[in-house]
Every structure is written in structure tokens, then in C-alpha cells.
Structure 1
Amino acid sequence: MIKAIFFDYDGVLTTDKTGSLTTNRYLSKMAAVEYETVQKAFSKYNQELLVGKITHREIWDAVCGAMHCEIDFSLLEQAFLSTPANDAMLALARRLKPKYAIGIITDNKKDRIDCLRKSQDLDALFSPIIVSAEFGSGKDNAAVFECALRCLDLRPEESLFVDNNLDNLIAPKALGMSVIFHDDENNDVGKLAAQLTEEFLIRLD
């Protein structure tokens, strides 16, 4: 019996495939710098940001230097806030919450998720919220999923994880969790809801 549903954040609870896409697009627009230039400036630091080894503040001067322009650090928070919420998926999560534990497991930067937890009031709907930059490793490792399960004192077979990246479903599936791939390009939340009810006997009402 499924007792908890965990959601990935970007590409599932948002309509952008990744957080980097959201952030780079905003900074590109505001600084009038080519998107590819912004992407390249951040890319060498992305993995260390995701596991909490460095912070955006620590790399900011180097990133600006790589873009050959000065961008006020305050614009980074505005970039975080530009994240487009997937309202249909959030509505589904709210339907699930009365009967199930609802959590987030995300490969993400700590300052970004801290900002979005406040602006989108994520903690009112999701618990636990497991962030790779806080935990020190990502969804390529079973440990982050084991941490989420410990938070709720659940066995793997009592939980389900939804992600828009097939690679991120390998570790939880091997652990014994049920998994669902969400195609972020189609964003068919109705299809996902049907899978929950028909394949996993999850009650929505």
C-alpha cells in the first residue's frame, strides 16, 4: 500500500525542465547576454552547487567574468523567483495530501530552493523536502531516497517517486520504491493522475 508520494521539483512541480534553464534564461534577458554564454559560465560549477560544495555567492565574480559583464547579485534571487509553477501538478498534490504524505526530492541548489520554499509556500504542502545541496548527494544515489523514507518511517514499497528524468528513477526503483516518469514536454497531469489511481490504487477524492 502506497503511503507517500514524492515529487521531483523542476520539470514536475514546475513547467521548466530544469532550474538552470529558468535561472539562465532570466539572467540572459536581464543582462542582455546570450543564453549560451550564461549557460557556459555556470556549467563548470553546476555539479558542485548541486551537492552543496560551493555557493552562488562564492562563484559570482568568476561567473560575471566569464560573461564579460557585471550583474548585481540581487538579480539571482529574481531569477529564482521567475520559476514557473506547474499549477496543475500542485493541484494534484493538494488532492493527495489529505490521505498521503507528500514530499519533494530534488537535485537543487540550496539558496534557490530556500527562496522558492518561501515564495511558493512549499512547506505548507510538502514534507519532507530533501535537497541535494543540503544532503550532499543527488538522485543518482539511493541514500537521498533512504533519507526521505526515514523522515516518514516508511519502507520503500510504501512510497512512490515522480520525476521527469528517467535516469533519476533508477536508484529509487532499485531500492524498491514505485516510480512514474512524467513527460514534462506534454505535462499531462491527467495521465499521471490516472496512473496513480489505476496502477497504484491511490485515492484522489
Structure 2
Amino acid sequence: MIKVVVFDLDYVLVKENCLFSELFENEYKVPHEEFYDVMKSSKMLERTKKNGSNFNIFHNLLEKYKIKISEKNFFDLWLNNFKTKKDVVDLAISLKKNYKIAVISDNFLEKTEFFRKKVRWFRNFNYSLFSSDVGYTKKSPKMFLKLIGDLKIKPEEAVFIDDNEKNINVAGSVGMNGIVFDNIDQLKKELKMANVKFQS
């Protein structure tokens, strides 16, 4: 029996208006490939609070292109660059009548703090776990084992919804059910197949 419905954040509950590396290129003429390379080489998604602000990892890139921007303005630009997928969020909140709802996501520290503190609908979720909380990503089964342990459930009592099939496969490797997200109608259909009850 399903007890917890777990959602990925990006491209399931929210969607960026455009990739931030591309937005930053449009605003400041920094090639988006270089911006992305800094993120990747620094393992930004795995940096935790003890590593300090992620603004610091872009210092050399900003200097190279002579960009003067405050840390606040940098992250304001980044963190407000999204749209809520209201149909999915509404569905998630409706599930709370019968299930715990959770978020598990690969995301950097400043974004996780933004969602936890500033995004009102996010407070409806019973539990959230981000890569920046633990120092590893959904590529590792440890991410899903931690969620299972924290929520004190059996793996088969959770269904995980993600737009990336590779992440679904990792969750499946520890015994969780999974749904590869495409759109709201497909999601509702597959939740019904998993015997997850909700109002249509």
C-alpha cells in the first residue's frame, strides 16, 4: 500500500523560464557553456552549507568578464527564474488528504533555502530532501534510502515521480515504485494504476 508520494522539483513541480546559464548569457554576455562548466566542475549540486556560498565558485568567471553583481542580485535573478506547474502542485496538495507528500531533488543550497523559506505552496509538503542537504545526488541509492529511513516506511510504500528515467531506475533499485513524468494527464493515469487515490 502506498503511504508516501514523492515528487522531483525541477520539470515536475516547477519549470525554469529558460536555463539560467542562458539567461545569464543574455543579461551579461557570458557564454552559457562556460557558466555550466563552472557548475559542473565544482559539483555545485553536491555542495553543502559547510562549503559556503555558491556565489564564490563563480568569482573567477565574473572577474574574467568584468561583471559587477552583488550576491543578492545574482541569486535574485536565478531564483525567480521559474514558473510553478500549478496543475501538478495542486494534485500533490490534494494527495495530502490520504498520503504524505515529499520532494526529493538535486539542487543547490541557495535554491533549497529559497523554496523552503519563500515559496508558500512548498510548505504543504511533509518532507523534503535535497542533494545540498547530504552531499550526494539522486545518482546514488543513498539519497532514496535516506528518504525511506527518515519517513520510516518500506521502499514499496513510496512512489517516486521524476522526469528522468535514470533517477526512477535508481529509486527502483532500492525497491521504490516509480513514474516517469511527462504531463499531468499521464501522471494521473499512472497514479491510478498504482492505486493512489485522488479526486479527478
TM-score calculated relative to the size of structure 2 = 0.87
Alignment identity in percent?
22
Which position in structure 1 is the counterpart of 2:57?
Answer: 59
Note closer, same or farther for the CA distance 1:143–1:43 as it changes in structure 2 (3 Å cut): closer
| Counterparts of residues 35-54 of structure 1 (less than 5 Å) | 35-45=32-42, 47=43, 49-52=44-47, 54=51
Give the aligned CA root-mean-square deviation in angstroms: 2.1
Note closer, same or farther for the CA distance 1:58–1:34 as it changes in structure 2 (3 Å cut): closer
Which position in structure 1 is the counterpart of 2:24?
Answer: 27
TM-score calculated relative to the size of structure 1 = 0.85
Contact kept, 8 Å, 1:116 with 1:122, in 2: the verdict is no
Contact kept, 8 Å, 2:38 with 2:58, in 1: the verdict is no
| Counterparts of residues 1-205 of structure 1 (less than 5 Å) | 1-16=1-16, 22-45=19-42, 47=43, 49-52=44-47, 54=51, 55-78=53-76, 79-183=78-182, 188-197=183-192, 199-205=193-199
Contact kept, 8 Å, 2:7 with 2:102, in 1: the verdict is yes
Q: Secondary structure at the match of 1:176?
A: coil
Residue 166 of structure 1 aligns with an amino acid whose one-letter code is: E
Unaligned runs of 5+ in 1: none
Unaligned runs of 5+ in 2: none
CA distance in 2, matches of 1:150, 1:56: 29
CA distance in 1, matches of 2:33, 2:73: 18
| Post-superposition offset of 1:72 | 2.7
| Post-superposition offset of 1:82 | 1.6
Contact kept, 8 Å, 1:31 with 1:71, in 2: the verdict is no
CA distance in 1, matches of 2:162, 2:132: 18
Note closer, same or farther for the CA distance 1:204–1:63 as it changes in structure 2 (3 Å cut): same
CA distance in 1, matches of 2:47, 2:157: 29
